[in-house]
Amino acid sequence: MDKQEIFDRIKQLKKKHNAIILAHNYQVGDVQDVADFVGDSFGLSQKAAQTDADVIVFCGVKFMAESAKILSPDKTVLLPNANAGCPLADMLSVQQLRQLKQQYPGVPVVTYVNSTAAVKAESDICCTSSNALKVVNSLEADTVIFAPDKNLGHYVQQHTDKKLIIWDGFCPTHNSLKPEDVELIKSNYPQAEILIHPEAPAEVLEKADFVGSTGQILSYVRDSSRKEFIIGTEQGILHTLRVQNPDKKFYLLSKKLLCTNMKKITLESVLHALETMTTEIVLPQDVMTKAKRALDRMLQVV
């Protein structure tokens, strides 16, 4: 089947199942092009909750599809590749979080959405990279447990008066960035502005003109009169940036910015998901109920 035939077949199956396709900004271009909505995990979960579709094909990694299921428990949520995981989410188990809570009794837990549903269920409130600071500042406590991303945690710590107890997890893709990578690309494109995701290490963020989530990077570029940008987040976002800003130029900060898990979803796997209605996200009811509380609490902050 050629690409156009796959697109057509996906369209037919979407109609048959009353399905929508949601794709994360880090997905490959073809998957973004076949999607009904492209965005960050938070925006996509909101879409999932609002849609009247019966089936959601979630093109992203597992924790994102889980969040969509938690916010839309009555819908069928499909992840086209069940092996599309998130190493950062896997760096904090529910047992580890329980131990940390025992060490700091009464200290509220803010959990980045890049976490398993079970970890969300043990948390007081969730956050994304775009609202982490707001969420932390919304709490009355002076001390807050922040998990699982240490780089996002340190970034928030620099901008809040609260004391954060930060878990030692990281995104291997963003954490691989070095200050020298920024120096090198800057020497090639001195006129370009440098936009970096807060999952990168502090010594790399220091060199950025702007630090933000994927959604914030997209808005920043859209509103900017500048013409050239160095992008310090997963390379899938270049597709979105180029579609939205055909008159501007984008350079990837480093070739290391490739998430192999995000790339496990292909056009063919989206078609297969709709043909076989797999792989369905199924979560225990009690986990869903508790995790929804933490996600809903975040939604009230923003």
Judged by the rule CB under 6 A, the positions of this chain that interact with ligand CIZ are 24, 40-42, 113-114, 128-129, 197, 213-215
Nearest approach, Cβ of residue 261 and ligand CIZ (Å): 11
Q: Of 113 and 144, which CB lies nearer to ligand CIZ in the complex structure?
A: 113
Nearest approach, Cβ of residue 113 and ligand CIZ (Å): 5
Q: Of 89 and 109, which CB lies nearer to ligand CIZ in the complex structure?
A: 89
Of 248, 191, 186, give the one whose Cα is nearest residue 217: 248
What 3-state DSSP class applies to 278? Answer: coil
In Å, how far are 151, 182, 256 from 179, measured between CA atoms? 14, 5, 13
Nearest approach, Cβ of residue 198 and ligand CIZ (Å): 8
Nearest approach, Cβ of residue 19 and ligand CIZ (Å): 21
The whole-angstrom distance between residue 223's C-alpha and the CA centroid of its chain comes to 22
Of 65, 213, 68, give the one whose Cα is nearest residue 134: 213
Nearest approach, Cβ of residue 253 and ligand CIZ (Å): 15
Cross-strand partners of 249: 228
Cross-strand partners of 149: 169
Cα separation, 253 vs 235, whole angstroms: 9
Nearest approach, Cβ of residue 258 and ligand CIZ (Å): 14
Sheet strand arrangement including 55-59: 37-39, 19-24, 55-59, 76-78
Nearest approach, Cβ of residue 64 and ligand CIZ (Å): 7
Angle at 235 between CA 233 and CA 237, to 5 degrees: 80
Cα separation, 72 vs 47, whole angstroms: 10
Handedness of CA 196, 201, 202, 206 (dihedral sign): negative
Cross-strand partners of 109: 145
Q: Of 182 and 217, which CB lies nearer to ligand CIZ in the complex structure?
A: 217
Q: Of 29 and 215, which CB lies nearer to ligand CIZ in the complex structure?
A: 215
Nearest approach, Cβ of residue 269 and ligand CIZ (Å): 20
Q: Of 13 and 133, which CB lies nearer to ligand CIZ in the complex structure?
A: 133
Q: Of 123 and 128, which CB lies nearer to ligand CIZ in the complex structure?
A: 128
Q: Of 197 and 292, which CB lies nearer to ligand CIZ in the complex structure?
A: 197
In Å, how far are 36, 59, 118, 133, 231 from 209, measured between CA atoms? 32, 30, 36, 19, 11
Tokens of 295: 């996600």
